[in-house]
């Protein structure tokens, strides 16, 4: 009985989605805002990657909200899991240790590159931040005995979050709207261009990286109740 009801529900859901998507014109969206943003990005913001312009320039407030949601999730995760005593896990083994040593600088460079070039090429603070988190988590997986630097991570996270907000407030102080790109946007396609957007993305990348690294470390810890 329950299965039949579920199947009916799923069929109805699929039907609804098909009806909705059937009314869309595939390959020819209306793009009421999109075309304007595409035309205005080069002059307004000056980033080559238009998605970055939307994420940080036009809808920077949404990104701040997203960061706070991520922060709340990571904090709640830490709160629920608690800080259990780190018990010695069996060692990661030679292959994992050597691999972690080899990968750490490469991951660091890849992550920083993706963060810093976020306004020119695909990528940015979120993607690069995740790679940075992986880079800092990998040695911990290889050597379970080492103590994770939670205090460090907390400072990085707090400072980068504060930087994001301070850059937004500076625009407010100058008389513009919150999070309006500061500075002069240089020539399109240069590394130093796009005004304050690269700085914002750097802050986002550091914050996301520190947050997720802390979350991963907390999840990797063992607790004494279960094992």
Partner 1 sequence: MIWLALVVVALTLGAAVAVLLLDNLLAATAAASAVSLGVAVIFVLLHAPDVAMTEAVVGAGLSGLILALALRRLGLARLDVGPGGGRNDA
Partner 2 sequence: MTTQIGLVFFIAAIGLCVIGIGGIVLSRNLFRMVLALAIAEAGANLLLVLAGYRWDAVAPILSAGQMPAPMVDPVPQAMVLTAIVIGVGVQALALTLVVRVKQRYGTLDMQLARERMNAEIDATADVTPPRSQERPRGERPLPAPAGGAHD
Q: What's the closest the beta carbon of residue 175 comes to partner 1, in angstroms?
A: 31
* Placement of tokens 């080899």 in the chain: 102
Minimum distance between the CB of residue 123 and partner 1, rounded to whole angstroms?
6
Please choose, out of 47-55, 59-67, 92-100, 197-205, the segment that lies near partner 1 by the rule CB under 8 A. 47-55
Residue whose token pair is 């980068």: 160
Among 40, 66, 108, 222, binds partner 2 (CB under 8 A): 66
- Rounded to whole angstroms, the Cα distance separating 131 from 136 reads 9
Question: Which residues 6+ apart lie within 8 Å of 95 measured at CB?
Answer: none
CA dist list (Å): 80 to 63, 172, 222, 223: 25, 37, 14, 12
User: Residue 58 or 126: which CB sits closer to partner 1?
Assistant: 126
- Contact set with partner 2 (CB under 8 A): 1-3, 6, 9-10, 13-14, 17-18, 21, 24, 26-29, 31, 33-34, 37-39, 41-42, 48-51, 53-55, 59, 62-63, 66, 69-70, 72-74, 76-77, 80-81, 121-122, 126, 187-189, 208, 215, 219, 223, 225-226
């Amino acid at each position: 009985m329950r299965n039949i009801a579920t199947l009916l529900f799923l069929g109805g859901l699929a039907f609804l989605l098909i009806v909705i998507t059937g009314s869309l014109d595939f390959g020819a969206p209306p793009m009421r805002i999109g075309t304007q943003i595409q035309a205005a990005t080069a002059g307004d913001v000056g980033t080559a990657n238009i998605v970055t312009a939307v994420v940080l320039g036009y809808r920077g407030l949404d990104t701040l909200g997203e960061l706070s949601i991520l922060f709340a999730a990571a904090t709640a995760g830490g709160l629920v899991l608690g800080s259990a005593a780190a018990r010695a896990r069996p060692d990661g083994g030679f292959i994992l240790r050597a691999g972690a040593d080899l990968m750490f600088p490469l991951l660091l460079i890849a992550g920083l590159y993706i963060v810093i070039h976020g306004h020119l090429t695909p990528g940015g603070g979120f993607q690069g931040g995740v790679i940075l988190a992986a880079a800092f988590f990998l040695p911990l997986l290889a050597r379970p005995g080492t103590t994770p630097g939670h205090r460090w991570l907390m400072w990085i996270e707090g400072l980068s979050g504060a930087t994001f907000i301070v850059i937004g407030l500076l625009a407010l102080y100058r008389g513009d709207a919150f999070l309006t790109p500061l500075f002069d946007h240089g020539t399109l396609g240069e590394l130093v261009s796009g005004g304050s957007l690269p700085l914002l993305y750097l802050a986002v990348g550091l914050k996301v990286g520190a947050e997720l690294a802390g979350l991963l470390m907390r999840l990797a810890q063992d607790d004494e109740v279960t094992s």
